[in-house]
């Protein structure tokens, strides 16, 4: 089992934009790894870690971003709750990959990091 307290301590050192960028990166990893059945353990860990990232960030975001993160948290919970069915079929993994990719883009927008580059 992973020591989440160390991960939490490190994660909270960054400002909210960077934290959300990290969450977006995790979601993109989920999308990328979902194409191979043998990546199930890694993807499951990324789903759990992403849910924790949201939990740790929730108190530090405005209401609009919080609402989006709550929707994502619910989706991550659904994936985790029914992991066998989600991961067990190629079509389900493809759907997970697509949804995670969409969420990654949305969370990156919420982070404000894209606006900083412009």
**What pLDDT is attached to residue 117?**
61
Beta-carbon count within 10 A of 7 CB: 14
Decide if 2 is inside a domain.
no
The predicted structure's pLDDT at residue 4: 87
In a domain, 7, yes or no: no
- 106-116 tens-digit pLDDT: 999 999 998 87
Question: Would you say residue 86 has pLDDT above 80?
Answer: yes
pTM, entire model: 0.93
The pLDDT of residue 1 is 59
pLDDT at residue 118, rounded to an integer? 56
What's the CATH number where 92 sits? 1.20.120
Specify the number of domains making up the chain: 1
Residue 10 lies in a domain: no
Q: Is residue 3 pLDDT above 60, yes or no?
A: yes
Domain interval for residue 68: 16-117
- The pLDDT tens digits of the residues spanning 20-74 come to 999 999 999 999 999 899 999 999 999 999 999 999 999 999 999 999 999 999 9
Q: Is 19 exposed, middle or buried (0-12, 13-18, 19+ CB in 10 A)?
A: buried
Residue 6 inside a domain? The answer is no
CA angle 97, 20, 50 (to 5 degrees): 50
In a domain, 5, yes or no: no
Question: In sequence order, what DSSP letters do the residues of the chain get, joined into one string?
Answer: ---HHHHHHHHTTS-HHHHHHHHHHHHHHHHHHTT-GGGHHHHHHHHHHHHHHHHHHGGGS-HHHHHHHHHHHHHHHHHHHTHHHHHHSHHHHHHHHHHHHHHHHHHHHHHTHHHHH-
Asked if residue 8 belongs to a domain, the reply is no
Residue 9 lies in a domain: no
Query: Could you read off the pLDDT of 6-15 as tens digits, one per residue?
Result: 999 999 999 9
């Amino acid at each position: 089992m992973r020591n989440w307290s160390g991960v939490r301590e490190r994660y909270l050192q960054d400002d909210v934009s960077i934290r959300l960028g990290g969450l977006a990166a995790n979601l993109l990893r989920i999308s990328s790894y979902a194409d191979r059945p043998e990546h199930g353990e890694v993807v499951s860990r990324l789903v759990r870690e992403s849910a924790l990232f949201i939990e740790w960030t929730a108190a530090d975001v405005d209401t609009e971003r919080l609402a989006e993160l709550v929707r994502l948290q619910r989706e991550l919970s659904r994936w985790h709750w029914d992991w066998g069915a989600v991961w067990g079929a190629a079509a389900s993994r493809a759907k997970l990959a697509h949804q995670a990719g969409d969420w990654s883009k949305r969370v990156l927008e919420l982070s404000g990091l894209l606006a900083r580059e412009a």
